[in-house]
Amino acid sequence: MELTEFVIKSLVILVIFGLTLLIAMYSTYGERKVAGFIQDRLGPNRAGPFGILQPLADAGKMFFKEDFIPAQANKWLFIAGPCLAMLTALMTSAVIPFGDSIRYDGLEVAVQAVEANIGILYVFGIVSLGVYGVMVGGWASNNKFSLLGAIRAASQNISYEISMGLSIVAILMMTGSLSIREIIEQQHGGNWNIWYQPLGFIIFITCAFAECNRTPFDLPECETELVGGYHTEYSSMKLGFYLFAEYINMFISSAVISALYFGGYNYPGMDWVYAQLTSAFGDVAGHNVATLIGTAAFFAKALFFVFFYMWVRWTLPRFRYDQLMNLGWKNLIPLAILNIVITGTGVLFLKPIITALLN
Amino acid sequence: MYPIVLLSVLGIVVLFLGFMKSKSVLLPATLLFLVLALASNFIDWNQGKVLYFYEMLAVNNLTLAFNAIVLVSAFMIVAMTRGFQDQEEAQPAEYYGIMLFSLVGAFMIIGYEHLIMLFVGIEILSVSMYILTGSDKSNLRSNEAALKYFLMGAFATGIMLFGIALLYGATGSFNLTDIQSYVSIQGRGVSYILYAGLLLLLIGMLFKVSAAPFHFWTPDVYDGAPTIFTTFMSTIVKTAGFAAIFRLLSHSFTPIYSFWWITLAAITVLTLLVGNIIAVYQNSFKRMLAYSSISHAGYLLIAVTSLSPQTENAILFYSLAYSIATISAFGVLMLVSKKKALEGQVDESYAAFNGLAAQNPLLAFVLAVSMLSLAGIPLTAGFWGKFFVFGSAVERGLVWMLVVAVLMSAVGIYYYFRAIIAAYLKEGDIGKIRIAPFYRIILVVATAMTILFGLAPGIFEKLL
Amino acid sequence: MSPTLSLFYFLSFLTVLSALMVVFARSPIHSVLYLILTFFCLSGHYILLNAQFLAAVNIIVYAGAIMVLFLFVIMFLNMKKEDEESKTNLTKVAAVIVAGTLGVILVGAFRKSQVGTYNPYAHDSQVGMVESLGHMLFREYLLPFELISILFLVAMTGAIMLGKREVGERHF
């Protein structure tokens, strides 16, 4: 690999990594602000102007708290739990294309860490590993409540993974590719998947809520039943890692949703913008600016869904556990299978008719 | 080919029939489906060797005949279930569905041309058997048997898969014909990996047919499983398993016969010794039948080891004779043990048969004929089965093995006759046993077939 | 040594080490975690072979689903006291002899047999990709692929049948 390409790639990866962390950090702030807005109060407003230094203050508080490990706990696994949660949360963004490509010195480098042939499966695989952080941490705490919380979280996650995977299958049948970049590029020109897959989208976003343990599916934490859930025994930055991983997951799942269903870095009128920019700034600079605008569109979409998560959290009450399981197994999975059948029929019979009519 | 597709679909139909209020439709429906499968089986009859689905499945008269034996046995066993109507906890739709699916597995391993098919088929067959073994949920022994069978079976499957992988490594193909051409080109110069792979594959398959020293699961599982499913296991799995072993060895590995026959011969002798000698010490009739099934695996192995032109017919005839006799023996056992049940605990010892002949001459006669056939007494099908098997061994010149086999048959007479003696000569207070008409027909037909094939074994060869 | 080769050796070392640790670890939880590590290493091998689809599916199915269920069960079994199941010496000796013989046979077989050669120019690097895998599965391997669904159906039916709550059965 050429050095310049390597440098650009590394820069892209670092920027994406930093942005992910930053967004996750400010999601905590955003959450409190949104909560304040919805509940008709102010939210954090002391640390800095509008309270924007609040996340830093929170982090500082987390760091200086006592780092406590219970006496009978399995020390190594107790530490490994939050590390695993954080690791899996951060690994996911590797295959998500945040933008088209950057041209520099005759090179064209994609705004994406790795372009993988199996991108969406990679995301799916890493998400399914997220359970381990929770389970290992919950078990290692040597506390019944932690263990029960961990088991709850894990069973919730694996239950909803099934319908999540099935809802993705419908997308794959339409695009014929597992690569996320390919999926995004096929949605070029307002051809977003949401128009074709409304049912799939609803299933996917419901499962994404459950996977991130967000309201209305935040069953793993429940004061009256489980004290604090799987992180009852955690304190200081280990607890911080668990909470932080949740926000990262939220952002990543929002990014995946916007990539799969809302065209990723495509936005209406992008061809016109591209033509204007290249004619104004030349091929290289214009292309790069257009890419940046696309990336901005991507982040805007993703951030909207992060907001959506918060919106839902402060509006909807939570489910009961048996309702959660019934919804997952008895409603979402049959619906997802139905969606696959409908999509298959559409691709096989409807698509040729429509293309014949259009031509 | 056709029965595989048919039963895959019809099994699902049976599962759906379970939604209906009345469970009484299940038994006739299942029997009808089995008849349909049997009819569809003969579509390919006399077509020569036909390959299906990119050489995944081969069909010729031999595989069709094995399929037919399996189907006929299944028909008899299903007919004896009487719809599980008298059991409260039974879930007949699931039982019948799983039985039909397991037949799909049996057909796959009878006619496989590709090792993937062998693997998938054995898995379907085994998983069904694990489930049926544990189907009596309230019985602790049934649960234990299921778990034991499952753990051991999973391990054997692993070994088998490793063997298949090594075979692929050596030959570069899963296809039996490709493997055969590789072996016949290389002769004894084949890769050593092939030897290792063949041995591991054989171990996995011999486990499924319970040959010693891979038989340790057999007595407990046969004993613990509900008797009806024990019957299913000891006939269908054994027939299909031997068809598979014979297919593998005769089709692909004849050129290196000099390599594998020693191993197989040792296993054969060990199986004969273990099965027959331990069977002598059993007090439970059901457990004795478990060991007897091990010993019959030994006799069938003689035929496989000798691998002469006669072997094909010998295995076919032997498995037919063995299946019919086993089914009628278990059929009688089921009736008697239920009659003698004390507080829900069924009596499966020899003593349960005491005085059977006095009030139930038919049952006693059926039992006697099946025992004679299993022991290999002349004028029964079992005699000719053993005769053909020994004949193929003579052809290969394996006289020493024959001596062991004949001695062990003599031992076998002892424990088979214990049941007959109990039924005819001992005093007992067993009352009149009511037999459902259909059940009676099955028992009579099985006995008649045993005697018919015993009087005129030529009929069978005419049929082929 | 090329980077790929050294990576291969490193991965293989890790695979064997974690597989051994599965057997030797005292706590069953540790065993399971080492097993997950083994699956990861195997996925690494798949990626080295350019079989990305298999690698991902291996992670999703084994590490992501099956091992989670393993952990589930083991976490609920309260195995705090590390009471080792005592085996008789006879069993141990027999096990060592059998495993040793098998090991010797396998090592001997591998030592004596020729390693197949391959032609790097004729090799199709796309063979492990999802497209070619799909074509393979739905054409040559259609029959076994479809019949595996029967296997799963049997397993599911059995699981439901055996796991179904009976009338009067006590659940916590």
Q: Is residue C74 part of a domain?
A: yes
For residue A270, what pLDDT is reported? 82
| Same domain? C75 vs C138 | no
- Give contacts of B172 with chain C, Cβ < 8 Å: 116
The domain of C28 spans 1-79
Supply the ipTM of this predicted assembly: 0.89
For residue A357, what pLDDT is reported? 85
Distance from CA of C59 to the nearest CA of A (A): 6
Asked whether at least 3 C-beta pairs link B and C within 8 Å, the reply is yes
Range from B170-174, B235-239, B431-435, C102-106 that averages highest in pLDDT: B235-239
The continuous run of DSSP H or E covering B152 comes out as: helix B140-171
Looking at per-residue confidence, does B443 or A6 come out higher?
B443
pLDDT more than 90, % of chain B = 45
| Same domain? C66 vs C138 | no
Residues C162, B135: C-beta atoms closer than 8 Å:
yes
**And the tokens for A278?**
């290249």
Q: How confident is the model at residue C85 (pLDDT cuts 50, 70, 90)?
A: low
pLDDT, tens only, A81-108: 888 888 888 888 888 888 888 787 777 7
Q: How confident is the model at residue C170 (pLDDT cuts 50, 70, 90)?
A: low
B94 touches chain C (CB under 8 A): yes
For residue C169, what pLDDT is reported? 61
What torsion do the CA atoms of C4, C8, C9, C14 make, to the nearest 10 degrees?
Answer: 140
B170 touches chain C (CB under 8 A): yes
Q: Is residue C20 part of a domain?
A: yes
Compute CA distances C166 → A106, A209, A313, C153, C169, whole Å.
71, 34, 39, 22, 5
- Torsion sign (Cα): B445, B451, B455, B461: positive
Instruction: Show which subunits contact B, needing at least 3 CB pairs below 8 angstroms.
Output: C
Contact indicator for A336, A203 with CB cutoff of 8 Å: yes
Q: Is residue C93 part of a domain?
A: no
Shortest CB distance from B101 goes to which of C112, C141, C153?
C153
Rounded-to-integer distance, Cα A319 and Cα A145, Å: 20
Rounded-to-integer distance, Cα C89 and Cα A315, Å: 66
Length of chain C: 172
Contact indicator for A79, A137 with CB cutoff of 8 Å: no
Quick count: other Cβ atoms within 10 Å of Cβ B221?
28
For residue A211, what pLDDT is reported? 85
pLDDT at position C16 over 90: yes
The residue type at B305:
T
User: What residues form DSSP beta bridges with B165?
Assistant: none
For residue A203, what pLDDT is reported? 92
- Torsion sign (Cα): C144, C145, C146, C152: positive
Q: How confident is the model at residue B117 (pLDDT cuts 50, 70, 90)?
A: very high
Instruction: Show which subunits contact C, needing at least 3 CB pairs below 8 angstroms.
Output: A, B
Q: Is residue C107 part of a domain?
A: no
pLDDT, tens only, B177-209: 999 998 888 877 788 888 889 999 999 999 999
CB within 8 A of C104, min separation 6: which ones?
A: none
pLDDT, tens only, C127-167: 778 888 888 888 889 999 999 999 999 999 999 888 887 76
Q: How confident is the model at residue B370 (pLDDT cuts 50, 70, 90)?
A: very high
CA atoms within 13 A on the CB side of A145: 13
Rounded-to-integer distance, Cα A158 and Cα B452, Å: 59
pLDDT, tens only, A270-281: 888 888 888 888
Range from A244-248, B348-352, C10-14, C131-135 that averages highest in pLDDT: C10-14
For residue C134, what pLDDT is reported? 87
Rounded-to-integer distance, Cα B177 and Cα B253, Å: 10
Calculate the average pLDDT of chain B.
88
Among candidate residues A39, A41, A65, A62, the one with its CA nearest the CA of residue A51:
A41
Over residues A23-27, the mean pLDDT reads 86
CB within 8 A of B459, min separation 6: which ones?
A: B452, B453
For residue C125, what pLDDT is reported? 74
Rounded-to-integer distance, Cα B368 and Cα B352, Å: 15
Over residues C112-119, the mean pLDDT reads 71
Contact indicator for B415, B288 with CB cutoff of 8 Å: yes
Of A10-24, A90-104, B340-354, C137-151, which gets the smallest average pLDDT?
B340-354
For residue A212, what pLDDT is reported? 84
Q: Is the pTM of the predicted complex or chain greater than 0.95?
A: no
pLDDT, tens only, A150-189: 888 888 888 888 888 899 898 888 888 888 888 888 888 7
Q: How confident is the model at residue B343 (pLDDT cuts 50, 70, 90)?
A: low
Rounded-to-integer distance, Cα C162 and Cα B136, Å: 9
User: What residues form DSSP beta bridges with B58?
Assistant: B51
For B325-447, strand residue ranges (E) read none
The residue type at A306:
V
Q: How confident is the model at residue B290 (pLDDT cuts 50, 70, 90)?
A: very high
What residues of chain C, 132 to 171, have a C-beta less than 8 Å from chain A?
none
Of A297-301, B85-89, B125-129, B431-435, which gets the smallest average pLDDT?
B85-89
Compute CA distances A357 → A84, A352, A354, B53, B436, whole Å.
53, 9, 5, 37, 67
pLDDT at position B173 over 80: yes
pLDDT at position B463 over 80: no
For residue B300, what pLDDT is reported? 92
For residue C167, what pLDDT is reported? 66
Distance from CA of B461 to the nearest CA of C (A): 33
For B277-420, strand residue ranges (E) read none
Of B79-88, B141-150, C54-63, C108-117, which gets the smallest average pLDDT?
B79-88
Distance from CA of B28 to the nearest CA of C (A): 21
Over residues A288-294, the mean pLDDT reads 87
pLDDT, tens only, B291-303: 999 999 999 999 9
pLDDT, tens only, B202-254: 999 999 999 988 988 999 999 888 888 999 999 999 999 999 999 999 988 88
Calculate the average pLDDT of chain A.
85
Compute CA distances A43 → A37, A46, A199, A310, whole Å.
7, 9, 35, 14
For residue B342, what pLDDT is reported? 67
User: Which parts of A112-235 fold into alpha helices (H)?
Assistant: 119-140, 144-175, 180-185, 193-196, 198-211, 223-226
For residue C63, what pLDDT is reported? 86
pLDDT, tens only, B95-108: 899 999 999 999 99
Among candidate residues B150, B256, B148, the one with its CA nearest the CA of residue B202:
B256
Provide the domain count of chain C. 2
Compute CA distances B30 → A67, B79, B102, B127, B197, whole Å.
66, 9, 13, 20, 39
Last residue of a domain, one of C64, C79, C94: C79
Shortest CB distance from C68 goes to which of A116, A158, A165?
A158
Q: Which of C75, C77, C133, C160 to mutate to test the interface with A (most CBs of A within 10 A)?
A: C75
- Give contacts of B104 with chain C, Cβ < 8 Å: 147, 150
pLDDT at position B163 over 90: yes
Between A and C, how many residue pairs show a Cβ–Cβ distance under 8 A? 66
For residue B86, what pLDDT is reported? 60
Compute CA distances A213 → A230, B46, B437, C70, whole Å.
12, 63, 61, 22
Distance from CA of B440 to the nearest CA of C (A): 30
Q: Where are the domains of chain B?
A: 2-463
The residue type at A154:
A
Rounded-to-integer distance, Cα A324 and Cα A330, Å: 10
Q: Which of C141, C151, C152, C165 to mutate to test the interface with B (most CBs of B within 10 A)?
A: C151
CATH of residue C74's domain is 1.20.120.1200
- 3-state SS, chain C, equals CCHHHHHHHHHHHHHHHHHHHHHHCCCHHHHHHHHHHHHHHHHHHHHHCCCHHHHHHHHHHHHHHHHHHHHHHHHHCCCCCCCCCCCCHHHHHHHHHHHHHHHHHHHHHHHHCCCCCCCCCCCCHHHHCHHHHHHHHHCCCHHHHHHHHHHHHHHHHHHHHHHCCCCCCCCC
Q: How confident is the model at residue B326 (pLDDT cuts 50, 70, 90)?
A: very high
- Give contacts of A136 with chain C, Cβ < 8 Å: 33
Chain centroid to CA A233: how far? Answer: 27
- Give contacts of A154 with chain C, Cβ < 8 Å: 68, 71-72
